[in-house]
C-alpha cells in the first residue's frame, strides 16, 4: 500500500495515536511524543470533590514526572467553560495533584514546542522535588 505524501499528518498517523478529543490535545500529545515524555491519555484519577470521591480522566498523566497532570484548556473564551476549569484547578490543588494547564495561545508561534516542553519539564521537576521532600518528611516522622 502506497502512502500519499500530501496527506495530512493526522490522517497519516491514524491508528498510531490515541483518539484525541481536540486538535489542541493532539498537538500536546505529539509534543510529548517528540520530546520523549511518556504519558497516559485520559488515565483515571480519583479526586475528593464535593464531599465524595470521583473518578476524573485528565488529558495527560506524566508518570516520569510523578504523575504530573497536563490539561489542555481549549475554550478560554467561554465563561461557563472557564468556571469549570477554575473548579478543576481548585480540586487538583486541594487533592495535592500537580497540574499544568495549557491554553490555545500556548500552542502557537514559531517556538511554542520548545517553550511548552520546557514549561512541562520544569513543572515535572518541581513536582518530583515536592514529592521527594514530602516522602522524606514522612519517613522522618516515624522515627
Say if 13 falls within a structural domain.
Answer: no
pTM to 2 decimal places:
0.79
Question: What's the CATH code of the domain at 51?
Answer: 3.40.960.10
Partner residues linked to 54 by β-bridges = 47
What's the total number of domains in the chain?
A: 1
Which residues, 6 or more positions from 140, have their beta carbon under 8 angstroms from its beta carbon? none
State the residue range of the domain holding 23: 19-141
Say if 104 falls within a structural domain.
Answer: yes
For the chain, 143 residues long, give each residue's pLDDT as a single digit of tens: 455 666 665 555 555 666 888 888 999 999 999 999 999 999 999 999 999 999 999 999 999 999 999 999 989 889 998 999 999 999 999 999 999 999 999 999 889 999 999 999 999 999 999 888 866 555 555 55
Residue 7 CA to residue 72 CA, distance in Å, equals 26
Amino acid at each position: 500500500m502506497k502512502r500519499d505524501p500530501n496527506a495530512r499528518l493526522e490522517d497519516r498517523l491514524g491508528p498510531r495515536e490515541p483518539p484525541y478529543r481536540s486538535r489542541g490535545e493532539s498537538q500536546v500529545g505529539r509534543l510529548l511524543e517528540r520530546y520523549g515524555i511518556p504519558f497516559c491519555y485520559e488515565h483515571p484519577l480519583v479526586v475528593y470533590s464535593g464531599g465524595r470521591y470521583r473518578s476524573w480522566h485528565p488529558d495527560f498523566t506524566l508518570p516520569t514526572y510523578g504523575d504530573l497532570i497536563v490539561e489542555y484548556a481549549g475554550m478560554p473564551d467561554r465563561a461557563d467553560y472557564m468556571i469549570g476549569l477554575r473548579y478543576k484547578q481548585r480540586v487538583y490543588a486541594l487533592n495535592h495533584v500537580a497540574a499544568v494547564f495549557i491554553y490555545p495561545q500556548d500552542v502557537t508561534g514559531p517556538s511554542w514546542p520548545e517553550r511548552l516542553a520546557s514549561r512541562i519539564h520544569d513543572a515535572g521537576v518541581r513536582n518530583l522535588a515536592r514529592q521527594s521532600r514530602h516522602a522524606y518528611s514522612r519517613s522522618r516522622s516515624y522515627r
